[in-house]
Structure 1
Amino acid sequence: MPRPIVIFDGDCGLCNGFVAWLIRHDPREQFLIAGSAGEVGRAALAAMGLDASVAASTLVLATVDGPRLRADAVAGILGTLAWPWRAARSITWVPRRWRNGVYDAIARRRPRADADDPACGMPPASLVEAWRARLATSADVDALRV
């Protein structure tokens, strides 16, 4: 089964922080990552039928079942991790309009941080190797198109 790809804005400090957090809390390496500004990130968005501009302010989870956006992406990611993070899946009980409203309010206040390479973000020094090992490839994107 192909691994889902987390597509994020590599110039977003909050997005980079979330991806760093995910790498530390996903010991089974269930998720790959791709910056939305890179070739692989843009290809994954296209494979999901999404315009590249969507990832400028939205976290996208690309899966074989299609894309999950915003709060659904967060719930889809956290819901597969160990306790207590998997409890976050319960946010899907909240109407999508409300949970995406909270997501959007947080996204409007997110810090910007120029990444050395927005195509893959800006990993903390302690995670550079693990971060690079999780970068999705074109083959990973192709596997999602099944």
Structure 2
Amino acid sequence: MTRKSLPFKDYSYRADPKVSDFNDQNPIIVFDGECALCSAFVQFVIKHDKQKEFQFSTGQSNLGQALFQHYGLDTVNFETNLLISKGRAYAKMSAFSQTTSLLPYPAKFLSLAKYIPSPLDTWLYDMIARNRYRLFGRTDRCLLPDENLKKRLIE
């Protein structure tokens, strides 16, 4: 296992009967749809994803719940976004840096976060995640998709 991905075999979710089939040819971000910071990050990705490659799913959706459960992540508190790219799953700071590395410049510069040494990166991510609702707010419902997002949202 590298520090960048979760300790599962690539494409392991395909063998999990709880995870419904989904198009995994493009990267997918599973995020907390009630978190203002997470939703803002998704909007940031959409804005910079000129090729419209990224797909999205909320942690509250059936697919999101199954993927979080498959990877042993909290299915209630969603203290991480989950990125699945080329069958490999990333969480926490690795998900952030891997996601931004797939975007064009200038957004790609944010992928330099991968050079934050561990465990400092984990501490920093966890500190923000634990306080995200207090610092950035919480919506009482999931992000309402516009037409641009609707096409790439997997329920």
- TM-score w.r.t. the length of structure 1 is 0.76
**Which residue of structure 2 aligns with residue 90 of structure 1?**
112
Q: 1:62 corresponds to which residue?
A: 84
Q: C-alpha deviations, 1:68-88, integer Å up to 9, x for none? A: 001100001111111122122
Q: Which residue of 2 aligns with 1:113?
A: 139
Select which of 26, 34, 37 maps to 2:49.
Answer: 26
- Structure 2 residue aligned with 1:3: 26
Q: Cα distance, 1:14 vs. partner?
A: 0.8
Judged with a 3 Å threshold, the aligned counterparts in structure 2 of structure 1 residues 105 and 79 are, in CA distance, closer, same or farther, namely same
Flag as ranges the 4+ runs of structure 1 deviating above 4 A.
none
* 1:45–1:62 CA contact under 8 A, matched in 2: no
- Structure 1 Cα separation of the partners of residues 126 and 87 of structure 2: 24
Q: TM-score, normalised by structure 2?
A: 0.72
Q: What does residue range 65-144 of structure 1 map to in structure 2 within 5 Å?
A: 65-110=87-132, 111-115=137-141, 121-123=142-144, 128-136=146-154
Greater share of helix: 1
**Structure 2 alignment gaps of length 5 or more:** 1-23
After superposition, the CA RMSD in angstroms is 2.1
Equivalent pair of 2:68/2:75 in contact (CA under 8 Å): no
Higher relative contact order (CA 8 A, sep 6+): 1
Q: Which amino acid counterpart does residue 100 of structure 1 have in structure 2?
A: T
Deviates more, 1:57-66 or 1:13-22: 57-66
Q: Which runs of 5+ in 1 are unaligned?
A: 116-120, 138-146
